[in-house]
A and B are shown apart, each in its own frame.
Chain A
Amino acid sequence: MSARAGGHESAFGHVTGTAIYTDEQTPPRDLLSLYPVTAPHAHARILGIDATRALALPGVVRVLTAADIPGQNNTGPILPDEPLIPAERVLYYGQAVAWVLAEDEATAITAASLVAVRYQALPARLGIEAAIADQAWHFPPAQVQRGDATTALAAAAFQLAGEVASGGQDHFYLETQTSWASFDAAGNILVTASTQHPSETQMMVAQVLGIAAHRVICRCLRMGGGFGGKETQANPFAALAALSVQLSGRPTRIKLRRALDMQLTGKRHPFLSRYQVGFDGDGRLLALKAELYADGGWSADLSPPVLMRAMVHIDNAYFIPHVAVTGYIAKTHLPSNTAFRGFGGPQGMLVAEEIIDRVARFLGLPADLVRERNFYCADQTPDRNTTHYGQPVVDNHLADLWQQLKTSSDFERRRAQINADNASISERKRGIAITPVKFGISFNKTDYNQAGALVLIYTDGSIQLNHGGTEMGQGLHSKMLAVAARVLGVSVDRIRVMVTSTDKVPNTSATAASSGADLNGQAVKAACEILLARLRPIAAAALHGAESEVRFQHDQVFLANAPANTFGFGDLVRAAYSARVSLAATGYYRTPGLSWDAARGYGHPFYYFAYGAAVSEVEVCGYTGRHRLRRVDLLHDVGESLLEGIDRGQIEGGFVQGMGWLTCEELRFGDNGRLLTDAPSTYKIPTLGEVPEDFRVNLYQRRSAVSTEVIFGSKGVGEPPLMLALSVREAIREAVAAFGSSAQVALASPATPEAIYRAITAVRGH
């Protein structure tokens, strides 16, 4: 699909290899490369750095250490706890204590091995359990509560308590962290970075260099994948490249090799969750007390909002009258965990589905029935449609969507068939499960819910579109093109989306939280509407009609009552120029109605919710614990899709990425804190072979109009589909259960063959 047909605007560049990423730019003369000197300890005191031998190597320009930083030695986005280059202490294995700047990368690599660093090793804290033992936290505990969970728990007919852990996940964007920096002709620092947040990258560069932000321009051409991994964690590498430019006067590039990228950068937070749930004999949840522990790693990074999103998604789609959730961020000597598609939501929702399954199995009820009984419901008394943090579940279509999927996936009949088949086959069991997704859309931090755009029309009628969002593959640029073309009534061929740059649109938010199209789309629309308002009087005069009758469509301008009498868009633009009317406009948008009291964990943090549901069917081998995904049916609510092809891509891709997190992707660290799974040979993301042949994806056809005011009735789609993959985990659990008759099926996450095998063994033991 071309952009005109609703496909990705860079598709042609992708398939021909001509789409330019940061490290594929034409190298300037004298381009230098940076390579780190990494610490072989998870926790150590730096006693001394001797770079003499490295500096003696021909081609080595300089070795950067903490002492070389003119501004603040800090790139922490929330807390000032992230030294760009540590001066005294190593806080995780592989942390770079110095960077070699050399004429080429090979020389830098060789020289890095010649830098002699003396360390005093210190005891390292390598996981959540150790942090609990030490009571080592980045922040005081966070709270979200409603009602009186303690009393309601005691009063409930039934109570269960349990614990569930979920593993981390490497982003495995195909393009590793990359930044180029140079001086421009005016002496400004020009940074081109693979970053989801150019404005923050700009600010960090300025902060590290000790210069004003107006001397730094940060651009993002496009990213070879982001998924949250370049929301904050691109910043240090951009700052290092910029630091090198300032110190050496020469352009500098940095691109992490894969193993370094995996060792140095943070991932999805592993969680440990403990819960007590109270419920009645029908499986209705009455009370939940939970403690969530997130492994923050060595620095705070974005851990507080990640934890909070987990805490406000622990309900998934289920109404629980009395809730008390406490959250902790463990301070460990591991890479600093960060944003990853879903941003804590998946970790919270995994707990919800774990609890539902416990309750259902305890009561001997089908899990899907218990799920349905606990759905948030609008228009009921007493109210069952407000979350535990006080936000009404707006635009709630979940029950209808659920029934549509149950019907279209033939769920009941297939389950009956599977139950019958399972009875007759001893070592191969199948399982089927349906799970819902309700996911809040907006940044939890209200400040970030704003966006800007800059639209420039030239006198030949061509248009440049700038907006604050970045393109990481999700199709944001394609959607922005569609929005601008629709508002201006012109074809997409007339418009070029420009490289994201902080000198075009300033003070932008990260492209994250599934909000890129929502926020930037409204800003683009606003800019285009300003331009239309200026063009309309010109058109009305030229067409001899009323302004209110002027229409812009198909690159033509006409009056509603005389559609045959048209005026070309280009002619109109020239007329406007001659009439001395400005053809450039900025657009701005802030999401209305948001409020959030972080201290109380209460408010209206989300503009709306995205909904979806998934049915997965698996087969599990009793000899080995291997599983095979046989069929998947997804039904997801994207509202009025801006571009169907793009939205489907997000749903399919998000699901498979979630499936990887829950099944084959396993991060393992050594006893010394070194990441052992730092390459695709040891860290296994899904391949085509893991995706079922029978993979049915549909967009929810709503029965009533959209009740939100998102851009053109659409809905954010970046993150929510990832959590549709929880159906895979629950289907595996169903299959495991068929090997025995246990009232509880404990399944570790990720559900690797070994984890599944252990679960089967446990179920058989009962």
Chain B
Amino acid sequence: MGTLLRQQTVGAWRYSLAMTPTFELNGRRMALTATDPKQSLLRWLQQHGLTGTKEGCADGDCGACTVAWQVSDQDGVTRYQAVNSCLLPVGALPGRCVLTVESLARNGVLHPAQQALIDAGGSQCGYCTPGFVMSLFVGCMNGELGDATTEGNLCRCTGYAPIRRATQQLAAATLDQSAWAIVPTAPVAAAPVAAVATPAVGDFYSPLSVAAALALKAQHADAAWIAGATDVGVQLSHGQTTAPVLIALDRIAELQRLEVTADSVWIGAGVSLSRIEKALADVVPTLAQMLPWFAARQVKNRATLGGNLGSASPIGDLLPVLLALDAEVHCRGQDGERVIPIDGYFLDYRKTALRADELILGVRLPRPPGLRSAAYKVAKRPTDDISIVAAVFALRLDSQQTVQTVRLAYGGVAATPSRARITEAYLLGKPLNAETVLHAQELLEGEFTPLGDHRASADYRRQLCGNLWRQFVAEQCS
């Protein structure tokens, strides 16, 4: 990690009718002519008669539409990734190499992932099965097999027990990965690609540099940035109106930088959550605590830190982490680069201090010594659910147990991710003892006026604000 990717000098991949955009599907080059770039890959597959990939929700929440694609990582190695085809706009495909369930068996021999599911009795109705197969296929090819491999796949029949057995069987076996690899006919995502355009629905651009992205934005004031499209993708999947022009940021190498130094961590805006989870597990444990709860594998493979910041949802789970850790948001616009302290970044519901022309480059997280920090999340379902309340606390005490620094950051309790400033002010400079902890809890229960909704009542949210603090103190400060 921390290596800098070679700078691409090519400009944007301008989708035009002049060139035929193509991608590779199951080892065959497919043209994307006359295709709406905002249409999901899932719909495209359905229209092309590839019905093995199933639609369970078209929301990115069930995994039935999981496909594998190959991506060149920052280290130059090409890896497989499981992604939800319902959230993947066709505009993001040119030059990519995609595999669906139809492609796995070779000469009548099933891929080990398929065979393991059969052996374990891992399918009943079978509708979710192709998605599980693809998740397990990627797990096999990457040597990453565990419960998390299929955390983004819902099954309503089996109770998952046989799927877990199949995963364990695969993990125990040795797989000749090369025997099952599909070698792309052209280097993955490196070819100059052309284009898909249906002028009526606007253009979909994939710039290769920040400069090119900003230039596009200057030309198209009504364009929207999209990173992993795990948020916008839901709207696109349902055919809802989005910005007429989309500028995809997923091929900009500059945004993929991840760097750890003694006193700070740099996370490029385009770094996927999966990569953060792996690379920073030991470096920023608070981040690593939150990520397993954040979303499922397929979503984390596409979702980015920049996307989370750009969406600025009050329930974006990484945002309280950034608030608690005093992150700096680096962005660049027509007037150059600037740094926005995270503290002043969130203005209102999904409104930020970013100007319309600005692009998030990345986030710098300081690594101050002696900080105790932990992340908490309460949701109806522990795995892959939206927060009722997310809380991230950071605290530095001196030898007398006096509070030197305190950050109490919450998601799900206000229109923006928010710090509990009243309580922070109360605690600062005070000794951390039973009395101050309890008083802080009372303050926290009154500091926000959260809403009640289908996830939880307002009252429960308020009490969680105080209780999670108490849990943090009990677990981290005693």
- State the CA gap A697–B239 with chains docked (Å): 44
Q: Which residues from A are CB-within-8-Å of B125?
A: 173-175, 222-226, 472-473
B278 interface contact, C-beta 8 A: no
Interchain CB contact under 8 A, B380 and A688: no
> Hey, which bits of chain B sit against chain A, CB under 8 A?
49, 51-54, 56-59, 61-62, 64, 100-102, 104-105, 110, 114-115, 117-119, 121, 123-130, 133, 147, 150-151, 153-164, 238-239, 296, 376, 378-386, 388, 453-457, 460, 463-464, 467-468, 470-471, 474
List the one stretch of A12-20, A354-362, A393-401 in contact with chain B. A12-20
Q: How far is the CB of A649 from chain B (nearest CB, A)?
A: 5
A655 interface contact, C-beta 8 A: yes
- State the CA gap A257–B147 with chains docked (Å): 29
A765 interface contact, C-beta 8 A: no
Q: Which residue of A lies closest to B64 (CB)?
A: A174
A752 interface contact, C-beta 8 A: yes
Interchain CB contact under 8 A, B127 and A175: yes
Number of contact residues on A: which range applies?
35 or more
> Hey, which bits of chain A sit against chain B, CB under 8 A?
1-2, 7-8, 10-21, 23-24, 26, 106, 109, 171-175, 222-227, 257-258, 427, 472-475, 621, 623-626, 628, 645-646, 648-649, 652-657, 664, 666, 668, 676-677, 679-682, 684-691, 693, 695, 697, 752-754, 757-758
- State the CA gap A655–B156 with chains docked (Å): 11
**21 sample A-B contacts, Cβ–Cβ < 8 Å, listed by A number:** A11-B126, A24-B51, A224-B128, A227-B156, A258-B56, A427-B471, A473-B126, A473-B157, A474-B124, A628-B382, A649-B158, A649-B159, A653-B124, A656-B161, A657-B159, A664-B380, A664-B385, A681-B59, A686-B160, A688-B151, A689-B384
- State the CA gap A2–B150 with chains docked (Å): 23
- State the CA gap A18–B54 with chains docked (Å): 11
- Starting from the known contacts A16-B104, A652-B159, 7 additional A-B residue pairs (CB-CB under 8 Å) come to A17-B102, A227-B156, A649-B121, A680-B61, A684-B381, A688-B164, A689-B382
Q: Given that A15-B133, A687-B381 are known contacts, is A648 also in contact with B121, CB under 8 Å in the complex?
A: yes
Q: Which residue of B lies closest to A224 (CB)?
A: B127
Interchain CB contact under 8 A, B126 and A19: yes
- State the CA gap A682–B388 with chains docked (Å): 11
Q: Which residues from A are CB-within-8-Å of B105?
A: 16
Q: Given that A15-B110, A174-B64, A680-B57 are known contacts, is A626 also in contact with B378, CB under 8 Å in the complex?
A: yes
- State the CA gap A392–B50 with chains docked (Å): 54
Interchain CB contact under 8 A, A173 and B100: no
Interchain CB contact under 8 A, A14 and B59: no
- State the CA gap A226–B105 with chains docked (Å): 29
Select which of B104, B162, B454, B470 is within 8 A of A682 by beta carbon. B454
Interchain CB contact under 8 A, B381 and A690: yes
Q: Which residue of A lies closest to B457 (CB)?
A: A754
- State the CA gap A21–B159 with chains docked (Å): 22
Q: Which residue of A lies closest to B104 (CB)?
A: A16
- State the CA gap A754–B459 with chains docked (Å): 10
- State the CA gap A651–B125 with chains docked (Å): 15
- State the CA gap A174–B380 with chains docked (Å): 21
Interchain CB contact under 8 A, A691 and B126: no
Question: Ordered nearest first, which 3 A-B pairs have the shortest CB separation?
Answer: A17-B52, A473-B125, A224-B127
Interchain CB contact under 8 A, B147 and A688: yes
Q: How far is the CB of A267 from chain B (nearest CB, A)?
A: 14
- State the CA gap A679–B56 with chains docked (Å): 10
Q: Which residue of A lies closest to B146 (CB)?
A: A688
Q: Given that A17-B101, A653-B157 are known contacts, is A8 also in contact with B382, CB under 8 Å in the complex?
A: no
Q: Which residue of B lies closest to A175 (CB)?
A: B127
Q: Which residue of A lies closest to B123 (CB)?
A: A14
- State the CA gap A626–B389 with chains docked (Å): 12
Q: Given that A16-B104, A222-B126 are known contacts, is A652 also in contact with B161, CB under 8 Å in the complex?
A: yes
Q: Given that A174-B64, A652-B161, A753-B380 are known contacts, is A623 also in contact with B471, CB under 8 Å in the complex?
A: yes
Q: Which residue of A lies closest to B128 (CB)?
A: A174
Among B57, B58, B121, B385, the most chain A Cβ lie within 10 Å of the Cβ of B121
- State the CA gap A682–B133 with chains docked (Å): 25
Interchain CB contact under 8 A, A7 and B118: yes
- State the CA gap A267–B123 with chains docked (Å): 24
Q: How far is the CB of B314 from chain A (nearest CB, A)?
A: 15
- State the CA gap A652–B457 with chains docked (Å): 33
Q: Which residues from B are CB-within-8-Å of A649?
A: 121, 124, 157-159, 162
Q: Which residues from B are CB-within-8-Å of A680?
A: 56-57, 59, 61-62, 154
- State the CA gap A393–B403 with chains docked (Å): 67
Select which of B101, B158, B160 is within 8 A of A687 by beta carbon. B160
Q: How far is the CB of A538 from chain B (nearest CB, A)?
A: 38
- State the CA gap A533–B121 with chains docked (Å): 36
Interchain CB contact under 8 A, B114 and A15: yes
Q: Which residues from B are CB-within-8-Å of A668?
A: 454
Q: Which residues from B are CB-within-8-Å of A223?
A: 125
Interchain CB contact under 8 A, A15 and B117: yes
Interchain CB contact under 8 A, A676 and B127: no
Interchain CB contact under 8 A, A654 and B121: no
Q: Which residues from A are CB-within-8-Å of B296?
A: 687
Interchain CB contact under 8 A, A666 and B56: no
Q: How far is the CB of B126 from chain A (nearest CB, A)?
A: 3
- State the CA gap A26–B154 with chains docked (Å): 26
Q: Which residues from A are CB-within-8-Å of B468?
A: 623-624
Q: Which residues from A are CB-within-8-Å of B150?
A: 688
Q: Which residues from A are CB-within-8-Å of B456?
A: 752-754
- State the CA gap A473–B125 with chains docked (Å): 3
Q: How far is the CB of B121 from chain A (nearest CB, A)?
A: 5
Interchain CB contact under 8 A, B114 and A16: yes
- State the CA gap A726–B102 with chains docked (Å): 40
Select which of A258, A475, A681 is within 8 A of B124 by beta carbon. A475
- State the CA gap A7–B110 with chains docked (Å): 16
Interchain CB contact under 8 A, B159 and A17: no
Q: Given that A649-B124, A668-B454, A682-B454 are known contacts, is A690 also in contact with B58, CB under 8 Å in the complex?
A: no
Interchain CB contact under 8 A, B51 and A689: no
Interchain CB contact under 8 A, A676 and B454: yes
Q: Given that A15-B129, A754-B457 are known contacts, is A174 also in contact with B123, CB under 8 Å in the complex?
A: no
Interchain CB contact under 8 A, B157 and A225: yes
- State the CA gap A10–B100 with chains docked (Å): 19
Select which of A16, A171, A695 is within 8 A of B101 by beta carbon. A16
- State the CA gap A21–B123 with chains docked (Å): 15
Q: Which residues from B are CB-within-8-Å of A427?
A: 471, 474
- State the CA gap A172–B57 with chains docked (Å): 10
- State the CA gap A225–B474 with chains docked (Å): 45
- State the CA gap A685–B158 with chains docked (Å): 13
Q: Which residues from A are CB-within-8-Å of B117?
A: 11, 14-15
Q: Which residue of B lies closest to A682 (CB)?
A: B454
- State the CA gap A656–B381 with chains docked (Å): 13
Interchain CB contact under 8 A, B110 and A689: no
Q: Which residue of A lies closest to B43 (CB)?
A: A106
Q: Which residues from A are CB-within-8-Å of B154?
A: 172, 174, 680, 685, 687
- State the CA gap A473–B53 with chains docked (Å): 18
Interchain CB contact under 8 A, A679 and B156: no
Interchain CB contact under 8 A, B161 and A14: no
Among A23, A175, A625, the most chain B Cβ lie within 10 Å of the Cβ of A175
Select which of B127, B470, B471 is within 8 A of A174 by beta carbon. B127
Interchain CB contact under 8 A, A8 and B151: no
Interchain CB contact under 8 A, A689 and B147: yes
Interchain CB contact under 8 A, B118 and A15: yes
Q: Which residues from A are CB-within-8-Å of B386?
A: 681-682
Interchain CB contact under 8 A, B159 and A654: yes
Among A172, A668, A686, A689, the most chain B Cβ lie within 10 Å of the Cβ of A689
Q: Which residues from A are CB-within-8-Å of B379?
A: 753
- State the CA gap A494–B380 with chains docked (Å): 49
Q: Which residues from B are CB-within-8-Å of A693?
A: 164
Q: How far is the CB of A729 from chain B (nearest CB, A)?
A: 16
- State the CA gap A756–B138 with chains docked (Å): 38
- State the CA gap A690–B150 with chains docked (Å): 13
Among B114, B147, B376, B454, the most chain A Cβ lie within 10 Å of the Cβ of B454
- State the CA gap A668–B126 with chains docked (Å): 29
Interchain CB contact under 8 A, A688 and B52: no
